[in-house]
Chains A and B, each alone.
Chain A
Amino acid sequence: MRDEAHSRRAAKRLPGFVLAVPAWLWLTVFFVVPFLQIAWFSLGEKPGMFGTHSNAVMSLDRYAEAFSPTFFTIFRATLWMSVLGTIACLLIALPAAYFMAMKVPAHRRGLLVALVMVPYWTSFLIRTIGWKVILSSEGALAGFLTDVGLVADPHDLLNTRGAVLLGLIYNYLPLMILPMYVAFDRVDSALGEASKDLGADRLRTFFQVTLPLARPGIIAGIILVFIPMMGDYVTPAVLGGAKGTMVGSLIASQFLTAQNWALGSAMAVVLILLTMLIVVIAIALMWCVGWLLHRRSKLVIGTVPPPDTRPHTQEVVTA
């Protein structure tokens, strides 16, 4: 009886997904459509001195132009810095996240996580300017390093590739620590104890039990760090000067200075596609390495019988 009334009322009601329609429309009009327009512009050209874009003649010429030696050199530098930056973030974050999740008493972990999040929620631009102050030629660090003799000239710190790399590592480090922390936090400590009971030392337990179990968090961290690094535009603008240009700055200059929207659009599309491609390849590589290690350390218990006599008793246990 009541179920019948219920379903009759439900039928008269609007379907539930209607609630998501405003957000869906909003994101379509101001996220999807603008991107499609960029993709469309990238097939056009810059008409004359004062126009920004024209699709009168359709061609792939802008893509050929986007792969010019200048763009390619800067793209390679950007890729190199992002890969180095991601690896550095990984190596810095791994021990810290492991310590926070496994060694710190449970009631203090929340505070540490909050402390990691404070810099992340502080203005990105201001934190980068903080590094500009630290690295500036008038700063104490430059003076000290020059006195010690590590640096020849106090102006050598700022406006270099190294400064940009430092800024990138700094700015995205919280995005690597947080997912790794969550991953280590979810690893069941009983598995580590079981590994030790079975005679593995601590190093072997870490590399063969804990680390493989935390792999999803590590992959999430790599994606969260690498993608924004490839598109960063603020860090090189503040710390890099003329020497630290990255692809983001190049694309920005096409839109803001050169007013060549067609070329800028093509560069942006190339950046997105190549970034996605690299991420997919990197993830595939990581899974392959993981699978190979897994295969090597696989343990078969019991004698493997000849296939024709007892085919159903084989038991496989993996380490």
Chain B
Amino acid sequence: MSRPSGTNLALGAWTTLVFLFLFAPIIVIGIYSFNGGRLLTAWDGFSLEPFKAIIERPTVRHTVAVSLQTAVIAALLACALGTLAGMATARFPGRWAGPFTLLLLLVSVTPEIVDGIALLPWFVTLGQDWSLLPFNNGYVRLVIGHSLFATAVVTYIVRARLVGLDASLEEASADLYARPVTTFFKVTLPLVGPAVLAGGLLAFTLSLDNTVISSFINVSGTTSWPVYVLSSVRSGLKPEIAAVSTILLVLTLLVLGLVALVLKRSGSSVTDTMAVN
């Protein structure tokens, strides 16, 4: 720590202001989830009414249920695809890895709106023009839309974990005449386990929050929670939206805490792993 000087005090004050700025709207949402008024933006006394409204209103419950189900399936899918891809990129580098890494990079930097507007016509082509009926199903569309970026994230995390580990354990297993499948399940998978769990939980929170892609590929009847919130921005925001958001925020923080804990116990750096995307 350098000695406190005028410059350092000013820098510290600036950083404190930046943190206040970052947390201001989150704190406001937390407070306004106890708003007894009819509209979210107009404060009308403290009340637990918004939390009761969640239980009473079926639309809120249904959209949250859609989001949670989609998030679980999308996370599992992203884990399966991303774990295999991450192991391949870490353990079998070759000429194929360049184009594949470029594809992952493109998936990560493309603005979500481009994914959304490209997927909508593609689902219509698949589901209506080619009569592949599953693609007309709202859940299938949401899971696919949410799995793209999440697959890239899981791949990065699993690769980062494996690159940091010596391949000698797997080689030893092969030398002891274990079949590749046995090596995979008995050696490699336990090694990458924490990274897969961390990636999966991140994929879950990403899917839970996905607004842009979901709003394009939305099928009525399977509207996800963020799409419902976005549509009520136009029709009038109710305090129960803040209440659900507060609950989801606490859930997300618990999940993130779990990720941090898992990564810490498995010995890889939290900041390096989470700052990849």
Binding site for B on A (CB under 8 A): 2, 6, 9, 13, 15-20, 22-24, 26-28, 30-35, 37-38, 41, 52-53, 92-93, 95-96, 98-100, 103-105, 110, 113-119, 121-134, 136, 138-139, 170, 173-174, 177-179, 182, 202, 223-224, 227-228, 230-234, 237-238, 248, 251-252, 255-256, 261, 264-265, 268, 271-272, 275
Contacts and interface: CB of A to CB of B under 8 A. Distances in A.
A38 B211 CA distance: 21
Interface in B9-59: 11-12, 14-15, 18-19, 21-26, 28-29, 32, 40-43
A132 B144 CA distance: 31
B84 A34 contact: no
Interface in B94-150: 94, 96-97, 100, 103-104, 106-107, 109-115, 117-122, 124-125, 144, 147-148
Contact of A179 (B18, B19, B248, B275): B275
A129 B12 contact: no
B121 A24 contact: no
Given A96-B18, A129-B229, A130-B28, A38 B118 contact: yes
Nearest to B40: A133
A37 B111 contact: no
B89 to A, nearest CB: 7
B200 to A, nearest CB: 14
B264 to A, nearest CB: 9
A232 B245 CA distance: 21
A122 B15 contact: no
Q: Which of A2, A19, A113 has the most CB of B within 10 A?
A: A19
A34 B121 contact: yes
Nearest to A20: B88
Interface of B: 1-2, 7-8, 11-12, 14-15, 18-19, 21-26, 28-29, 32, 40-43, 80-82, 84-85, 87-89, 91-92, 94, 96-97, 100, 103-104, 106-107, 109-115, 117-122, 124-125, 144, 147-148, 151-152, 155, 174-175, 180, 202, 205, 208-209, 211-212, 216, 226, 229-230, 233, 237, 241-242, 245, 248-249, 252-253, 256, 260, 270-271, 274-275
Given A15-B92, A23-B85, A122-B252, A223 B122 contact: no
A27 B42 contact: no
Contacts of A115: 19, 22
A99 B15 contact: yes
Nearest to A132: B41
A226 B36 CA distance: 39
